[in-house]
Amino acid sequence: MTNENPDDQWMQAAIAEARLAEAKGEVPVGAVIVHEGQIIGRGHNEREASQDPTQHAEMIAIRDAATRLGSWRLIDTALYVTLEPCPMCAGALVNARVPRVVWGCDDPKAGATRTLYNIGSDARLNHTFECVPDVLGDACSMLLSEFFAAIRAQNKPRNGR
């Protein structure tokens, strides 16, 4: 590792995953799971290619990490994701016992760790996790903004129609 802030370094890896999604025409969201200073899980959105609504970056990274650890309990790990987790992903993070979740930008339409819901810090659940928002948030937000701007430009009517 470099002298760079570790959270920034791992978020850069998640951004690299988001760029892989973007290259496939998927919404550019990427995630990595870190254990003992190593990435053990990677994922990026694959909903369009798979036509599977559960193929969010976080879900893919969780499955990858669980396979590598040989356990569904992802104890002593941290998830880094470019966009605040949705309710499905936040629930999976609770169930996987991930102790720390770091994200880039908030999701005003589906955010479930701070924006709309606080699933990760809800003491009524059997597990909670540390929530760390806004790590390289501007870069993560820009990825999404540019992606959706390009889609809107492609769908823009021509010649006033």
- Which of the residues are catalytic? 58
CB neighbours of residue 138 within 10 Å? 10
Q: Are 131 and 109 in contact (CB under 8 A)?
A: no
Give the three-class secondary structure for 79.
Answer: strand
How far apart CA 155 and CA 132 sit, in angstroms, is 36
Cβ atoms of residues 31 and 61 within 8 Å: yes
User: Which residues have a Cβ under 8 Å from the Cβ of 112 and sit 6 or more positions away?
Assistant: 84, 85, 86, 87, 89, 90, 91, 118, 119, 120
